[in-house]
Structure 1
Amino acid sequence: MTIATAHARPNIALIKYWGKRDEVLMLPQTGSLSMTLDILPTTTTVELTPAHEVDTFILGGTTASQVETERVTRFLDLVRELAGSTTRATVRSRNEAPTAAGMASSAAGFAALAAAASAAYGLELDSRALSRLARRGSGSAARSVIDGFAVWHAGVDDETSFAEAVEAPPMRLVSVAVNAPRKKVSSRDAMRHTALTSPFHSAWVDSTARDLEEMQAACRAQDFTRIGELTESNALRMHAVTQSAQPAIRYLLPESIAVFNAVQELRDGGLEAYATADAGPHVFVLSQPEDASAVSDALASLGEVRIAGPGLGVRIEGQGTSTQESGR
């Protein structure tokens, strides 16, 4: 196959990682747990171009920047090394989620790129191998390979740091996109800066490891309330540690805080909901399925709302099953 197209979706971490212990292998300091969404997909096509001397990257119909293209080329080099190939490629990708806005577009993007490039270069990877490969492009892309809920194991090396499916009770995430510009500090740069300058970073790592253990236990117990409590507290702790960096990094805007406050008011009024936010201003609100519409209606005045359920992991176009189901 010399051309392949893959579809992947963002995932939102309920227990987050924030900091890497190895930036080459993209190994996180802690594990994490997420929900892959059924909205905002990324579609990526990789076409081998033997006549070309360089890779080409088209993002959203426009030639990508040099920095973005170099990042894609570095990733394709990993795939080419696995495939024993030197052939260049043209990559065309389109995100439905806003790019670089804290809505996990890079997770979906590199999961889709990993799958499409692997197929185009003739690799046959099972879900663990594909998750490990996607991780090398964007850490959280390891989780977008997986259907529904996924735990990303921090591991100790390349072989042991991958995502796999976990069982969880039925849940929904209501996304609340606030009016905000493209973020100025990338997640990768912010993680590095936080780890180097925050006096609280080691406490974040220790507490997140405990949160992940508790979250996995809550998922096994189908305990939505505990899942929600852990989700919100872990998110607030992550944003607190970024703000404790020197100088501080602030992803949450006043509009974001207004959503968190509104969610607290919903709980006070008897509607169980819990807020989280990744490295950006947009907020996601966890609810039980039967409450999602009421939560969405209550928050509609604060931003553009959408209801997301657990979604499919990465899929290669023309194949009826995911890599984890087919064993590819």
Structure 2
Amino acid sequence: MTDARTVFDRHLPDQLPTPQPATAYAPSNIALSKYWGKRDKALNLPLNSSLSISLRDWGSTTRISPSSTDEVWFQDRLLPADDPFADKVLRFANRFRRDQMMPLKIETSNTIPTAAGLASSASGFAALTMALVQAFQLDLPDDTVSMFARLGSGSATRSLWHGFARWERGHANDGTDSFARPLEVRWPAFRIAIIPVDTGPKSHSSRDGMNHTVATSPLFGAWPAQAESDCTAIQNAVQDQNFQTLGQLAEANALAMHATMLAARPALSYLKPESWQVLETLWTARHEGLAAFATMDAGANVKLILEASSAADVKAIFPQSRLIAPFDPL
């Protein structure tokens, strides 16, 4: 059985070069076609492919430099060695270093507004992966870098690029064919609106919720095949820049994912009454002509997808929303 150490050993030199200072930025991303369920938990291998859009300047920057001892800094604050975030970062760095003594100073900062209630693990592990690759002067193909990022956080595999990216589920047991690639699509009018509902910690982590749903939901059996079909249909809509089809598919895909959770035993609901109020308001507005659609991850917050022509109307209906233009220059 393949483990993460074997994957890294296969792609890295026996002896790493002396690390050099390196900096990398990665945007966070929102899945338009959801990833929910793993075929291998240790390797973060998904049961279905997924497709996402990046969040431009909402993301993470990681700086790495040689040091006399390991240090992890977050938002300009040195973290104690027993801090869970610091431990997670160093354990991931150790996958590169393996048994080699190469102390590092790792500094991470996020530009994701706290009030937006978005997780930063995808952009954080993507930035960390790219910074480590640069620091150790590794000449690796993007597929391999994306695969490495997946071993830190599943969704990180899609956060190496700006724009749309598709993460392939793959079929190999060792995960060598499960990575993301960017779509060669520029859609300047595409917009995302983040509507915060609950920015506090979740009662169930995404990982726990996913495992519970897979293990107990009678609706989950139909999810992987439907989600795979959705992903391909959503990719086609993106490539055709067919907003109506894309919106309908993305919203249905998100609701289907949440349906599998609601059918779990006991039921699991990340959506709050306020989330449903946002959806009801959206559906009413759409009936009256608004061209916008919703997507929701394992959390209470609602994200809308729309085009620039609808931005003013969305802002008027949801004044608390934060608009992002993924294809605007940084």
Which category of TM-score, normalised to the shorter sequence, fits these structures? 0.7 to 0.9
Which digits, 9 at most, give the CA deviation of each residue in 1:125-179, with x for residues without a partner? 3322211111110111111102200111111232211111123644111111124
- 1:127 corresponds in structure 2 to 142
Distance 1:225 1:95, change over 3 A: same
The aligned residue for residue 72 of structure 1 is 89
* Count of residue pairs brought into register by the alignment: 306
Which residue of the other structure, out of 250, 257, 260, is the alignment partner of 1:238? 257
Structure-2 change in CA distance of 1:178 and 1:56 (3 Å): same
Aligned to 2:326: 310
Q: Which residue number corresponds to residue 219 of structure 1?
A: 238
CA distance in 1, matches of 2:326, 2:272: 27
2:176 matched to 1:159? yes
Within 5 Å, give how 1:1-328 maps onto structure 2: 1-49=19-67, 51-52=68-69, 55-62=70-77, 63=79, 66-81=83-98, 85-97=100-112, 103-157=118-172, 158-166=175-183, 167=185, 169=187, 170-300=189-319, 304-311=320-327
Distance 1:100 1:247 in 2: 30
Stretch moving more, 147-156 or 177-186? 177-186
Residue 42 of structure 1 aligns to a residue whose secondary structure is strand
Flag the 1:9–1:72 CA change in 2: closer, same or farther, 3 A: same
Deviations 1:76-98 (A, max 9, x none): 122224xx843132322122226
**Paired amino acid for 1:6:** A
In 1: Cα distance, 2:236 partner to 2:198 partner: 36
- 47 and 89 in structure 1: CA distance in 2 versus 1, 3 angstrom threshold: same
The answer to whether the 8 A contact 2:115-2:196 is kept is no
Distance 1:245 1:101 in 2: 28
Q: TM-score, normalised by structure 2?
A: 0.85
* Structure 1 equivalent of residue 9 of structure 2: none
Cα-to-partner distance string for 1:30-66 (whole Å, 9 max, x where unaligned)? 00011011132212222232x32xx433323442663
Q: Displacement of 1:282 after TM fit?
A: 1.3
How far apart, CA to CA, are the structure 2 residues paired with 1:72 and 1:160? 25
Structure of higher RCO (CA pairs closer than 8 Å, 6+ residues apart): 1
Contact 2:59 2:111 in 1 (8 A): yes
Deviates more, 1:40-49 or 1:130-139: 40-49
Q: Which moved more, 1:225-234 or 1:198-207?
A: 198-207
Cα offset, 1:293, TM superposition: 2.5
Residue aligned with 2:268, SS: coil
Q: Secondary structure at the match of 2:309?
A: helix
Contact 1:37 1:308 in 2 (8 A): yes
Q: Structure 1 stretch 118-127 or stretch 11-20: which is displaced more?
A: 118-127
RMSD of aligned alpha carbons: 2.4
Segment drifting more, 21-30 vs 115-124: 115-124
- Secondary structure of 1:249's aligned partner: coil
% identity of equivalent residues: 39
Equivalent position amino acid for 2:324 in 1: A
- What letter is aligned with 1:206? A
TM-score by length of 1: 0.86
Report how far residue 312 of structure 1 moved: 8.8
SS at match of 2:241: coil
Aligned residue number for residue 321 of structure 1: none
* Secondary structure in 2 matching 1:251: coil
Contact residue 271 and residue 299 of structure 2 kept, 8 A: yes
Q: Which moved more, 1:84-93 or 1:171-180?
A: 84-93
Residue 100 of structure 1, CA deviation:
12
Q: Contact conserved, 1:103 with 1:278, CA < 8 A, in 2?
A: no
Q: Which amino acid aligns with 1:251?
A: Y
